[in-house]
Amino acid sequence: MDKTIRVLIVDDSEDDCFLLVRQLKKGGFSPTYERVDVAEAMSDALNNHRWDLILCDYSMPGFSAFSALEIYNQNGFDMPFIIVSGTIADEIAVDAMKAGAHDYIMKNNMARLNPAIERELREAKNRHERKRADQKLKRSEEKYRTLFEESRDAIYMSAEQGDLVDFNQSTLDLFGHSREEMFGLSIEAVFVDSDEYNRFQKELEQKGSVRDFEAKLCKKDGSEMYCLITATVRQARDQSIPGYQGIIRDISELISNRNALEKTLKELRKALGGTIEAMALTVETRDPYTAGHQRRVSDLARAIATEMDISENRVQGIRLAGVIHDIGKISVPGEILSKPGRISKNEFGIIKEHPTVGYNILKTVDFPWPIAQIVLQHHERFDGSGYPNGLSGEDILLEARIMAVADVVEAMASHRPYRASLGTDMALKEIAKNRGILYDPQVVDVCLKLFNEGYRF
């Protein structure tokens, strides 16, 4: 088979033109070609030379595939016209096929180019001039109808006033209307909420398209469904707007599943919170002097984290970690916890084990937050002088740095068996004095700001 071929390439990029020629040669063609990128040059090339094939880019500065198709059709040419594009929406591709294009190839799927050319050349060779024109129109329409009718989503076209003028079988199945009932029905009539329709229509008119607009629509029997609507303006060649076209997908089941999942997650988090509260009570029943300490630390840590604009999810983790940050004290003998006198060095050594004990209790629990690590690190200090691992700076979790400040402030402001309350003012002076030394400076600044603005335990 002689594969010598004369190709008119309509493209504003020489590089893309060379890529097309190279692809043709890979397919065994021997191409001679000319590249044009404006209407006048294309008209001259079509009138002055005979071509076997046109390869046209979809979008060029000041010139498009639709403009090229208009020149092609006005002159009555019948050689294959193939659009080669980097990006082209399905609905635009369909419009291009209806306008006379024989096929379209995505540039990321160039393997389709040569088979498509061979097919179109073979068809062009075997049919008569008038028959070719008829078959071209029929083929374009058939391709459009295949995309249109076989889609599982509802596809519709409406007039400028919103009345339906065309739709596929999936549209009838979705809404439950007969074909006769559906013709002339307004898109607005299927919206449950007229304000929602107005927002949809306003966005469509202003932007020319709407993507994944979530709306509640109603069926013929009155039942409601959640749907996603993607729609575009249908623009005529004279720039007028004959109407709109869109795709509707029922997502009621997806919404139902999402709501059920959110409800389950809410219940699980509520149960998790209750479990953590119960764990906190086990510590407080053994240490009556610190009853409420964990809750107050938790509340202050939550307030600091919120003021620092940390995500809501992380704030929730900090709050729950605060509720049980001293759970490791369950291993400390009660006589040490409630000892009224001064604590010895050995006794303090036992107390210092409580972050590690707490970590070991919590590490096997699959929390959605690093609660075990927060508990382990809440006595670490910014300069590395803390315990149990001597971490420093940003090696300490931000949540633990927040917890450390909240813990110190609450502890100093509260009564203990071995001393009276030192007061909130003394506690705030402590964190201010050791800002950037023992405590994260940003956390200290936020904590001081909260108390200056009226925060109280």
Q: Report pLDDT digits (tens) over 179-232.
A: 888 888 888 999 999 999 999 999 988 888 999 999 999 999 999 999 999 999
Q: What is the pLDDT of residue 78?
A: 78
- Per-residue pLDDT at 136 exceeds 80: no
Last residue of a domain, one of 149, 174, 209: 149
- Per-residue pLDDT at 143 exceeds 90: no
Q: Are residues 329 and 401 in the same domain?
A: yes
- The confidence band for 351, taking pLDDT boundaries of 50, 70 and 90, is confident
Whole-angstrom Cα distance, residue 375 to residue 387? 12
Q: Are residues 16 and 44 in the same domain?
A: yes
Residue 240 is assigned to a structural domain of this protein = yes
Q: Are residues 158 and 142 in the same domain?
A: no
- The confidence band for 91, taking pLDDT boundaries of 50, 70 and 90, is confident
Q: What is the pLDDT of residue 7?
A: 93
Q: What is the pLDDT of residue 24?
A: 92
Provide the number of structural domains found in the chain.
Answer: 3
Q: What is the pLDDT of residue 92?
A: 86
Measured in degrees and rounded to the nearest 5, phi and psi for residue 110 equal -65, -10
Residue 109 is assigned to a structural domain of this protein = yes
CATH number of the domain that 27 lies in? 3.40.50.2300
Whole-angstrom Cα distance, residue 25 to residue 23? 5
Which amino acid type is present at position 46? L
Whole-angstrom Cα distance, residue 377 to residue 388? 7
pLDDT digits (tens, 9 = 90+) for 246-268: 999 998 888 888 888 888 777 76
Whole-angstrom Cα distance, residue 93 to residue 148? 12
Helix axis angle, 398-413 to 293-307, nearest 10°: 130
C-beta of residue 245 within 8 angstroms of C-beta of residue 210: no
- Per-residue pLDDT at 334 exceeds 80: no
Alpha-helical segments (H) within 308-370: 312-323, 334-337, 345-351, 354-362
Percentage of the chain lying above the pLDDT 90 cut: 45
- The confidence band for 238, taking pLDDT boundaries of 50, 70 and 90, is low
- Per-residue pLDDT at 420 exceeds 70: no
Q: What is the pLDDT of residue 344?
A: 84
CATH number of the domain that 442 lies in? 1.10.3210.10
Q: Are residues 31 and 129 in the same domain?
A: yes
Q: For residue 232, give the 3-state DSSP assignment.
A: strand
User: Residue 68 gets which letter from DSSP?
Assistant: H
pLDDT digits (tens, 9 = 90+) for 279-308: 767 666 666 666 588 889 999 999 999 999
DSSP track, 159-217:
ETTSBEEEE-HHHHHHH---HHHHTT-BGGGGBS-HHHHHHHHHHHHHHSEEEEEEEEE
Alpha-helical segments (H) within 52-103: 65-74, 90-98
Cβ atoms within 10 Å of 450's Cβ, excluding its own: 17
How are beta strands 103-106 and 154-159 bridged, if at all? unpaired
Q: Are residues 91 and 228 in the same domain?
A: no
pLDDT digits (tens, 9 = 90+) for 35-75: 999 999 999 999 888 899 999 998 888 888 999 999 998 87
Q: Are residues 406 and 282 in the same domain?
A: yes
Whole-angstrom Cα distance, residue 157 to residue 143? 17
Mean pLDDT of the region 325-337: 82
Q: Are residues 211 and 274 in the same domain?
A: no
Whole-angstrom Cα distance, residue 387 to residue 379? 6
- Per-residue pLDDT at 396 exceeds 70: yes
Whole-angstrom Cα distance, residue 197 to residue 288? 61
| pLDDT higher at 123 or 11 | 11
Residue 207 sits in which domain range?
154-250
CA angle, 232 then 235 then 237, to 5°:
155
| Average pLDDT along the chain | 86
The pair of structure tokens assigned to 23 is: 């692809």
Q: Are residues 223 and 274 in the same domain?
A: no
**Which pTM value belongs to this model?**
0.47
- Per-residue pLDDT at 276 exceeds 80: no
Which residues fall within 8 angstroms of residue 332, CB to CB, at 6 or more apart? 350, 351, 353, 354
Q: Return the C-alpha torsion angle 342, 343, 346, 347, nearest 10.
A: 150
Residue 262 is assigned to a structural domain of this protein = yes
Element at 328 (helix H, strand E): none
List the beta strands (DSSP E) in 219-368: 224-234, 243-250
- Per-residue pLDDT at 395 exceeds 90: yes
Whole-angstrom Cα distance, residue 408 to residue 295? 14
Q: Are residues 297 and 438 in the same domain?
A: yes
Whole-angstrom Cα distance, residue 384 to residue 372? 20
Q: What is the pLDDT of residue 133?
A: 56
Q: Are residues 223 and 279 in the same domain?
A: no
CATH number of the domain that 211 lies in? 3.30.450.20
- Per-residue pLDDT at 137 exceeds 70: no
Last residue of a domain, one of 224, 250, 276: 250
pLDDT digits (tens, 9 = 90+) for 5-25: 999 999 999 999 999 999 999
Residue 260 is assigned to a structural domain of this protein = yes
CA angle, 8 then 126 then 138, to 5°:
80
- Per-residue pLDDT at 236 exceeds 70: no
- Per-residue pLDDT at 277 exceeds 80: no
Q: What is the pLDDT of residue 271?
A: 66
Helix axis angle, 113-125 to 129-149, nearest 10°: 140
Rounded alpha-carbon distances, angstroms, from residue 136 to 58, 82, 113, 416: 19, 13, 19, 92
Residue with tokens 């090229």: 68
The partner residues of 60 in beta bridges, in order of sequence, read 63
Average the pLDDT over each of 27-31, 86-90, 124-128 and give the range with the smallest value.
Answer: 124-128
Q: Are residues 303 and 197 in the same domain?
A: no
Going by C-alpha positions, the residue among 20, 13, 7 that lies closest to residue 61 is: 13
Whole-angstrom Cα distance, residue 334 to residue 339? 8
Whole-angstrom Cα distance, residue 34 to residue 7? 7
Residue 457 is assigned to a structural domain of this protein = no
The pair of structure tokens assigned to 295 is: 């809750």
Plot region of 168 (φ>0 → left; ψ -120 to 50 → alpha; else → beta): beta
Q: Are residues 73 and 11 in the same domain?
A: yes
Last residue of a domain, one of 250, 270, 291: 250
pLDDT digits (tens, 9 = 90+) for 426-442: 999 999 999 999 999 99
